[in-house]
């Protein structure tokens, strides 16, 4: 009898862990299937409303841990993060979700169903937002990036940034779990909770659908023909040594750029850290692209490591016809690989006639404040040299797309070991090609370059701070008020 009793208690726990972990595994990671994360927390939340706090904590922790082990091979095996770095990453993921579920459970059992509805999303998003402020990876871990292919929903980023997307993504399963919990005891309350959530989601999706449909005619008059080039050939991937090696590689890229210019390209973007140039002996390297720019009338953005002894910069050098060189230094370095490089502090907007073209480099676009600064400056097209890690070409390469939706600009991003990607300010991928599709992969397409004002551009991370405030109030309600 005792064995049968324990089996009855154990079975729901096993089912909840199995279902949730599978949904998280395939709903997140390097190539997420976006519908799954809308349902992933539901098995755990249903279990939480019927079981003890310690059983809930165990099931929540195990389900989230097993689900996010989908990233272990990439982080540990491919990038090579040390074990002592991996532990805090997974600990924060598991602890954040577990505490969020426990707060949800506490409020449900106290009969505070509207507070419980907000508990899971407010807890997770509050933590996600605060982590973004402190982490060297910025928004990189946000659940909102699982929804980049869900274009009507992605438009919410133009109002709330990534935080509102993560919030709604977790509000939905919380509503389903509360509705199921109340279906017999309080069916009208269940209907109100589920109905209100579905109503909010419907408004968001209608807004997104309309926003996707509206801008097409307005932007037809502001098309720019962009060309992107990248090479994953073994001799071209690593940073070329200064002098002859760098000049050889730049000359090969210049040959491809000239072909794109002959096809009508107005601007060409080339990946970051192609080679090394040392001040003051940069004349030969710069002359390769400057002479091509003067000859063809195109703008060229190329990534190089500039050494101004003893300081080194990850730099985008911008060559415009018969004009002085424009330099942009990357702001956000990738630890530990770029720890020896000095971060930049200023933005780079191109002069007339392309005054609304801006420049960022790779990881810069994992952070919201820098892109928002460009949006405030009126950027309509962002030119982004980059370098990805092959396996993350889809995940990290597409993070930048959300910055364009938030701040109202199109993006032309050229990455080694990644993708050549052109997207518009609605998050639509206009054209894309793999960087290993040819010895020198190229892409040529037209993209709108009209700046679009957004609510997020005006209000910034208001929803992130709102989630933090909401979390504090919910914790007070859970800890200080007695059971209903």
Q: pLDDT tens digits for 290-317? A: 999 999 999 999 999 999 999 999 999 9
Both tokens assigned to 354: 């392309």
pLDDT band at 221 (very low <50, low <70, confident <90, very high): low
b/e sequence 26-61, b meaning 16+ C-beta within 10 Å: bbbbeebebebbbebbbbbbbbbbebeeebbbbbbb
Question: pLDDT per residue over 61-104, tens digit each?
Answer: 999 999 999 999 999 888 888 888 899 999 999 999 999 999 99
Q: Is a pLDDT exceeding 50 seen at residue 411?
A: yes
Strand 326-329 relative to strand 311-319, pairing: antiparallel
Q: Where are the beta strands (DSSP E) in 341-440?
A: 357-359, 381-387, 410-416, 419-423, 429-434
Residue-wise pLDDT tens digits, 106-122: 999 999 999 999 999 99
**Which is it for strands 299-308 and 311-319: parallel, antiparallel or unpaired?**
antiparallel
pLDDT at 220: 54
Residues 132-169 pLDDT 10s: 999 999 999 999 999 999 999 999 999 999 999 999 99
pLDDT number for residue 16: 97
Q: How far apart are CA 446 and CA 188, in angstroms?
A: 53
Distance CA 228, CA 438 (A): 13
Task: Map out the domains of the chain as residue ranges.
Answer: 2-215+461-480, 222-451
- Say how far residue 441 (Cα) sits from the centre of its chain: 24
Residue-wise pLDDT for 312-355, tens only, equals: 999 999 999 999 999 999 999 998 889 999 999 999 999 877 77
- In this predicted structure, what is the pLDDT of residue 393? 94
Structural class in CATH, domain 222-451: alpha beta
Q: Tell me the pTM.
A: 0.94
CB neighbourhood size of 91 (10 A): 12
| Alpha carbon 383 to chain centroid, angstroms | 17
The whole-number pLDDT of residue 81 equals: 85
Mean per-residue pLDDT over the chain, rounded: 94
H or E, element range at 299:
strand 299-308
Mean pLDDT across 233-262:
96
């Amino acid at each position: 009898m005792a064995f049968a009793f324990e089996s009855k208690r154990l079975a729901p726990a096993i089912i909840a862990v199995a279902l949730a972990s599978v949904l998280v595994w395939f709903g997140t990671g390097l190539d997420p299937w976006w519908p799954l994360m809308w349902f992933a927390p539901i098995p755990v939340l249903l279990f939480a409303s019927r079981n003890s706090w310690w059983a809930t904590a165990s099931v929540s922790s195990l389900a989230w841990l097993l689900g996010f082990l989908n990233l272990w091979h990439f982080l540990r095996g491919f990038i090579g993060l040390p074990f002592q770095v991996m532990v805090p990453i997974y600990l924060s993921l598991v602890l954040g979700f577990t505490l969020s579920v426990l707060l949800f459970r506490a409020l449900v059992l106290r009969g505070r169903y509207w507070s419980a509805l907000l508990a899971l999303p407010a807890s997770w998003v509050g933590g996600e937002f605060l982590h973004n402020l402190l982490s060297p990876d910025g928004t990189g871990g946000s659940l909102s990036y699982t929804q980049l292919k869900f274009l009507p929903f992605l438009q919410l980023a133009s109002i709330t940034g990534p935080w509102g997307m993560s919030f709604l993504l977790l509000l939905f399963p919380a509503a389903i779990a509360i509705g199921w919990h109340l279906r017999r005891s309080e069916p009208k309350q269940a209907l109100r909770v589920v109905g209100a959530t579905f109503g909010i989601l419907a408004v968001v999706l209608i807004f997104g659908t309309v926003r996707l449909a509206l801008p097409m005619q307005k932007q037809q008059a502001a098309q720019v023909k962009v060309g992107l080039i990248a090479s994953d050939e073994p001799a071209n991937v690593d940073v070329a040594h200064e002098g002859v090696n760098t000049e050889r590689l730049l000359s090969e890229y210049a040959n491809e750029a000239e072909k794109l210019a002959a096809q009508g390209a107005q601007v060409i973007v080339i990946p970051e850290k192609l080679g090394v140039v040392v001040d003051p002996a940069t004349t030969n390297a710069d002359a390769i692209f400057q002479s091509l720019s003067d000859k063809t009338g195109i703008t060229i953005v190329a990534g190089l490591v500039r050494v101004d002894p003893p300081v080194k910069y990850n730099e985008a050098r911008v060559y415009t016809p018969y004009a002085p060189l424009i330099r942009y230094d990357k702001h956000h370095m990738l630890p530990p690989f770029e720890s020896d490089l000095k971060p930049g502090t200023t933005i780079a907007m191109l002069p007339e006639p392309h005054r609304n073209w801006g420049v960022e480099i790779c990881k810069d676009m994992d952070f919201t404040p820098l892109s928002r600064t460009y949006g405030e400056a009126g950027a309509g097209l962002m030119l982004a040299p980059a370098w990805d890690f092959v396996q993350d070409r889809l995940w990290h390469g597409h993070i930048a797309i959300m910055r364009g939706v938030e701040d109202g600009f199109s993006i032309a991003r050229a990455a080694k070991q990644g993708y050549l990607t052109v997207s518009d300010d609605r998050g639509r991928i206009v054209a894309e090609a793999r960087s290993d599709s040819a010895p020198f992969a190229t892409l040529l397409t037209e993209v709108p370059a009209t700046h679009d004002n957004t609510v997020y551009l005006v209000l910034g991370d208001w929803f992130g701070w709102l989630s933090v405030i909401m979390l504090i109030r919910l914790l007070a309600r859970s800890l200080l008020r007695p059971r209903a």
